[in-house]
Amino acid sequence: MAEEIIELEEEEYTSQLTGDVLRRILGLLKPHWKWVVGFLLTIAVTSILDAYFTFINKEIVDTGITLGDMDRVIQLAWLYGGFQLLQAGAVFTFIYLAGVLGERVQYDLRKLLFNHLQDLSLSYYAQTSVGRLIARVTSDTGRVADLLTWGIVDTTWALMNIITSVTFMAIINWRLALIVFTIIPVMLYIAVQFRKRILVEYRVSRRTNSKITGAFAENFQGVRVVKALLREDENTKEFQGLTSQMYKASYRAAWLSALFLPTVQIIAAVALGLIVGYGGTQISIGLMTIGGIQAFVSYLTFMMWPIQDLARVYAEMQHSIASAERIFKLADTQAEVHDRDDAIEAETLLGEIEFDHVDFYYEERKPVLKDFSLKVKPGETIALVGPTGGGKSTIVNLLCRFYEPRSGMIRINGHDYIDYKLASIHSRIGIVLQTPHLFSGSVRDNIRYGRLDASDEEVTEAAKVAGAHDFIVTLEKGYDHNVGESGNLLSVGQKQLISLARAVLARPELFIMDEATSSVDTLTEALIQRGMEALMKGRTSFVIAHRLSTIRRADRILVIEDGRISEAGSHTELLKQRGHYYRLYTQQFRHELEAQYGFAEAIGNEEKTPEALAAD
C-alpha cells in the first residue's frame, strides 16, 4: 500500500513542467551569485578568445600569406600567443569556480534535506522506505550538483561558442550566415522531441533505482532474518526483476541519446555542403576571400560541435532533472505535525494530562482509538496492557505528539497540547523502546545523546542509576568501548540498559517505557526494573508492558482493547475483578512457573490463585 502511495505521488509530481524544476535548480545558485558571475565572465572570455583565434587565422591567410606581408604574420603570431596565455588562465579559473560551486550546492542540498527530514512526522517514515531517502540525499543530490557544475560548464561553453561563431560569421559574410540561422530552429525542434522521450525513460530509471537502493538497505539490515528464513533465492529473484526494469529503461534512454548525436551530425553535414557551395560562388565574384571561406567553415564546425555536445549534455540533464524532481518533492513534503504560528513554550509537563474523547486512525475507516478519554494526575504511573493492535503504542505516540488526534483533544496542564511548541514537548519526554537503537560510537557517546552537554561524571552517574555501570566497566574499553553499527556488538539487554541510562541523563519530566523488558533475561529485567523505578520517581510515567510482573506497582493499570479502556485499576483491584487482566496475568504467571519448575509443578498448582502462587 505504501509503495502504491509513493508511486502515485511521484507520478503526480513529475507531471509538472520541467521549466519549473529548472528554475528551482538555478535558484540553488542564488546564495553563491558572486561565484556564478566570476564563472560566467571567465567562460565568456574563453569563448570569445576561441572565436577570435579563428579570425586571426583568417587574417594570417588573407593579409599575411596571400599578400606576402610577413610583418603582419609575426604581429598576429605574437597576438595569438598572448591571447593563448590569457585563455589558459581563464580556463583554469572557470573550471575551479565550477568545482567549488558544485561542492557548495551539494552541501546546501544535503543540509537542506537532512534538516527537513528531522522535521517530518513519523507518518512520512511509515510510508517511505529508508532506501529511497538514502538515494535522494546521496545520489540524487550528487546528480543535481553535477548538473549545476559540469552540466552548466558544458552548456554555457557551448552556447557562448555558438553565439560568438554566429557573430563572427555575420561579420565576415551576413548572407552566408543566414544559411546557418535557418538551421537553429530545426535543431531546437529536434532537441524538444528527443527531450520529451528521454526524460520519461530517465524518470522510470530513477524510480527503479530508488527501489533497488531500498532493496539493498532492507536486505542488508535484515540479513539475519533473510538467512534464518532461507529467503536468499526469493530476494535474488525480486532484485533481478528490479534490475531488469532499470536496465530496460536505461537502455531505451541510451538508445535515444545515441540517436540524437548522428541526427545532429547529418544536419551539420548538409549545412556544411551548402556553405561550401555557396561560398565558392562568392569567392569567384570577389565577395569572399579564401581565408574568409576557411574561417567560415571553421566557425560552422566550431558551432556544430557544441550543438552535438549540447545534445549529449541535454540527455544527461534529463537524468539530473529527474533527480531534482525527487529532491524537490521531498523538500516540499509538509510535516503532518508541526508548530502553529502562535505556538508557545511548554513550561512543564508535570501537570495533569487528559485525553478528551480522542479518535485516531492511521488509515481511513480503520480507527485505532475511538472516543478515548483518560485523565492522569501529576506523578502518576500508568501501565498499558492488552492485545497487540489494541492501541497501546498509539496512545504514547499521541502523547509524544508524534501524531495528533483526528478528533478530540489532548490537554497538558489544562492547555491543548498543540498550542505548545514541539521542541518544548519532546525535550521533556524520555522514551525507552522495546527495540533500543544505539548509534555508531562509544558507550559514553550513546548515553550522552540524551544530553549533549553532560559531563563524564554525569554520564557515569546516569549509568549507575540505570543499572548499566556494572556491565559497562567490564567491557574492554569501558565507557569508551565501541558499540558497533546500531549497537550490534552488545546484547539486547545491554543496549536496553544504555538506552535507559540515556533517558536518565535527559532528566525527563514525562517518562515512557514501551515494552522495554520483553526481550531480556530475568536478571537484566530486574536491573531495568530498578532503573525504571529510580527514573519514574516523581515523574508522570506511561509503561507499555508485555511482562505483567513489571507493572504490579503501577498506580493504575489500563487494559486497552479495540481502542478503548476495557478495565482500569491497580494490580490488586484488577485481579479481584477476574476479568481480562486476571486471565492474562494468570496465564503468564503459570507459563513462567512452568518454565522454572516444570510442567507437572504447574499442573499441580493450577487451582491456586495468582496470589497463592506468588506466595509459594
Q: What pLDDT score does 2 carry?
A: 36
What is the biggest distance separating any 2 CA atoms in the chain, rounded to whole angstroms? 125
Q: Select 2-332's CATH number: 1.20.1560.10, 1.10.10.60, 1.10.1130.10, 3.40.30.10.
A: 1.20.1560.10
pLDDT (0 to 100) of residue 518: 58
Whether the CB-CB separation of 438 and 495 falls below 8 Å is answered with yes
Q: Which residues are within 8 A (CB) of 418 and not within 5 positions of it... i.e. 6 or more apart? A: 340, 343, 401, 404
pLDDT, residue 438, reads: 87
| CA terminus-to-terminus distance, the chain | 51
131: its cell numbers: 532506501
Domain boundaries, the chain: 2-332, 578-616
- CA distance linking residue 36 with residue 97, whole number of Å: 8
pLDDT beneath 70: ranges in the chain = 1-19, 64-69, 188, 192, 195, 199, 216-217, 220-221, 224, 226-230, 283-284, 286, 304, 307-309, 311-312, 314-315, 318, 516-525, 528, 549, 589-616
* Residue-level pLDDT at 434: 73
Who contacts 343 (Cβ-Cβ below 8 Å, separation ≥6)? Answer: 418, 419, 420, 421, 422
Nearest to 383 by CA among 588, 571, 233, 113: 571
CB distance 275 to 179 below 8 Å: yes
What pLDDT is stored for residue 275 in this prediction?
73
**Contact indicator for 90, 40 with CB cutoff of 8 Å:** no
CA 533 to chain centre: 38
| pLDDT for 589 | 66
Residue 457 is predicted with a pLDDT of: 92
Distance between CA 263 and CA 189 in Å, rounded? 12
